[in-house]
């Protein structure tokens, strides 16, 4: 297929682009490089630097490329930042996203695949979390993704745009070539591994008084290659709807740090800090729907394996990407 990928220079997008190309698809990457890296774009893809805040540019680009499918990764995606700068989240994730959707419809694209998030649920009434849970986000990031999910529903009803929306749990690990390099790193695993690499003196634990067994937040970590695989399955024209993507197992912040110590063989000093605003205590997926309806099956379900791929990438790229 001819596939148009927004955010294909970013962490999850770069790995998905590589897998799409390996599977024989033709790929155009559209990225403004605000978070992504030019050198994270697979050399076999066509690259367009741009921002879909620019309505004319995205219309022109999609009109020229005429893809069969759009995979939309590009977004602002930091829970903590969204609590201090909500405007950025509603502009980038909702308003600019509508430009992309309008251009998608105008270009006659048949399929849209959207990167949503478990942050759309907010603190759940029960875990593991399936798709029937009410969506009550507690941060602007989750709210902005939920708003876009609703826009998608209306575009399906009014314009007939078929879509798959994936609610990712915590993306982690690295692919064969590409890994995690955010210019400002806020995520747990890369921050902990930066300590193991000797680049930081200690890692911070945000909140030790949550209602969890060891007092720290619990998350469901999912390998990015497994996320990428789900996107490939979503390209099947018969697939549509909302799907959670996670491994169904939760790990606390302290457990993640222990696994990082084991994998790296290095001691990782920690400092306890107050809670970070906007963090739900426990998020763990039920991905039964993705298993049964998409035939999706994670290849790297074990946290040790996920962290090992990340450690391998970071040791080979201690300073991340050059650009
Ligand atoms: N944490 C620390 N120390 C750190 C970094 C994080 O204790 O240095 C804690 C956080 O407070 C949180 C947990 O580790 O409790 C995980 O934090 P991350 O920042 O790694 O991930 P989040 O769960 O906040 O958010 C990520 C993505 C979102 C996505 C969400 C779904 O950034 O895009 O997972 O849970 F929506």
Q: In what order do the strands lie in the sheet with 69-72?
A: 46-49, 26-31, 2-6, 69-72, 111-117, 162-168, 241-245
Q: Is the pLDDT score of 235 beyond 90?
A: yes
141 is a catalytic site residue: yes
Atom of ligand 1 nearest to the CA of 191: 8
Structure confidence by residue, pLDDT tens digits, 108-153:
998 999 999 999 999 999 999 999 999 999 999 999 999 999 999 9
pLDDT tier, 278 (very low <50, low <70, confident <90, very high otherwise): confident
Angle, CA of 175, 186 and 31, to the nearest 5°: 55
- Note whether residue 183 is domain-resident: no
For ligand 1, is residue 219 a contact (CB within 6 Å)? Answer: yes
Domain hosting residue 293, numbered range: 188-219+249-316
Q: What is the DSSP secondary structure assignment for residue 316, as one 8-state letter?
A: H
Do 160 and 210 have their domain in common?
A: no
- Note whether residue 177 is domain-resident: no
pLDDT in the model for residue 81:
95
Tokens found for residue 228: 């990428």
The catalytic position among 11, 89, 141, 221 is: 141
Do 215 and 226 have their domain in common?
A: no
Atom of ligand 1 nearest to the CA of 217: 15
Q: Closest residue (by CA) to atom 4 of ligand 1?
A: 188
Tokens found for residue 217: 């937040």
Query: What is the DSSP annotation of 137-193?
Result: -SSHHHHHHHHHHHHHHHHHHHH--EEEEEEE-EEE---SS-----SS---HHHHHH
- Note whether residue 66 is domain-resident: yes
Atom of ligand 1 nearest to the CA of 256: 14
CATH number at residue 132: 3.40.50.720
CA atoms within 13 A on the CB side of 154: 8
Helix ranges restricted to H, 44-139: 55-65, 79-84, 86-90, 96-106
- Choose the final residue of a domain: 196, 229, 245: 245
Compute, in degrees rounded to 10, the torsion defined by CA atoms 191, 193, 195, 198. Answer: -130
Do 133 and 233 have their domain in common?
A: yes
- Note whether residue 281 is domain-resident: yes
Q: Closest residue (by CA) to atom 14 of ligand 1?
A: 188
CA atoms within 13 A on the CB side of 178: 25
Do 63 and 150 have their domain in common?
A: yes
Do 229 and 168 have their domain in common?
A: yes
Average pLDDT over residues 55-66: 98
Do 161 and 18 have their domain in common?
A: yes
- Note whether residue 181 is domain-resident: no
Structure confidence by residue, pLDDT tens digits, 16-46:
999 999 999 999 999 999 999 999 999 999 9
For ligand 1, is residue 170 a contact (CB within 6 Å)? Answer: yes
For the chain, the first-to-last Cα distance in angstroms comes to 30
Strands 69-72 and 111-117: parallel
CATH number at residue 260: 3.90.25.10
| CA distance readout (Å), 76 to 125, 157, 229 | 27, 27, 22
Average pLDDT over residues 44-50: 98
Do 69 and 199 have their domain in common?
A: no
For ligand 1, is residue 310 a contact (CB within 6 Å)? Answer: no
Do 105 and 207 have their domain in common?
A: no
pLDDT tier, 6 (very low <50, low <70, confident <90, very high otherwise): very high
- Note whether residue 48 is domain-resident: yes
**Averaged confidence pLDDT in the chain:** 97
Atom of ligand 1 nearest to the CA of 142: 36
Residues present in the chain in total: 323
CA of 180 relative to ligand 1 center, distance in Å: 14
- Note whether residue 150 is domain-resident: yes
Structure confidence by residue, pLDDT tens digits, 206-216:
999 999 999 99
Do 96 and 239 have their domain in common?
A: yes
Do 16 and 144 have their domain in common?
A: yes
- Note whether residue 178 is domain-resident: no
CA distance 289 to 318: 38
Q: Which residues contact 96 (CB under 8 A, 6 or more apart)?
A: 51, 52, 53
- Number of structural domains in the chain: 2
pLDDT in the model for residue 269:
98
CA distance 249 to 46: 37
Structure confidence by residue, pLDDT tens digits, 158-176:
999 999 999 999 999 999 9
Percent of the chain with pLDDT over 90: 99
Do 119 and 15 have their domain in common?
A: yes
CA distance 173 to 14: 13
pLDDT in the model for residue 136:
97
Do 235 and 255 have their domain in common?
A: no
pLDDT in the model for residue 27:
98
User: Which of 219, 221, 227, 271 has most ligand 1 atoms within 8 Å of CB, for mutation?
Assistant: 219
């Amino acid at each position: 297929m001819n596939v148009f990928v927004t955010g294909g220079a970013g962490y999850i997008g770069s790995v998905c682009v590589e897998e799409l190309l390996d599977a024989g698809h033709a790929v155009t990457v559209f990225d403004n490089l605000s978070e992504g890296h030019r050198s994270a774009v697979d050399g076999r893809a066509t690259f367009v630097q741009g921002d879909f805040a620019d309505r004319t540019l995205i219309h022109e680009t999609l009109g020229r490329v005429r893809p069969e499918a759009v995979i939309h990764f590009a977004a602002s995606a930091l829970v903590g930042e969204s609590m201090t700068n909500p405007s950025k989240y509603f502009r980038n994730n909702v308003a600019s996203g509508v430009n992309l959707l309008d251009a998608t419809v105008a270009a006659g694209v048949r399929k849209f695949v959207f990167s949503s998030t478990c942050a759309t649920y907010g603190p759940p009434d029960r875990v593991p979390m399936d798709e029937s849970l009410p969506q009550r986000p507690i941060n602007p990031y989750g709210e902005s993704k939920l708003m876009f999910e609703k826009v998608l529903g209306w575009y399906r009803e009014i314009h007939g745009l078929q879509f798959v929306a994936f609610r990712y749990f915590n993306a982690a690990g690295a692919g064969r070539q590409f890994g995690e390099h955010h210019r400002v790193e806020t995520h747990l695993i890369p921050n902990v591994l930066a300590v193991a690499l000797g680049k930081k003196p200690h890692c911070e634990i945000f909140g030790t008084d949550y209602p969890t067994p060891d007092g720290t937040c619990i998350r469901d970590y999912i390998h990015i290659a497994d996320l990428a695989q789900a996107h490939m399955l979503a390209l099947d024209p018969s697939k549509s709807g909302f799907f959670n993507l996670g491994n169904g197992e939760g790990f606390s912040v302290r457990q993640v740090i222990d696994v990082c110590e084991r994998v790296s063989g290095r001691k990782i000093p920690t400092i306890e800090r107050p809670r970070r605003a906007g963090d739900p205590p426990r998020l763990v997926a039920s991905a039964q729907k993705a298993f049964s309806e998409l035939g999706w099956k994670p290849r790297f379900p074990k946290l040790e394996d996920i962290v090992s791929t990340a450690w391998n990438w970071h040791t080979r790229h201690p300073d991340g990407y050059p650009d």
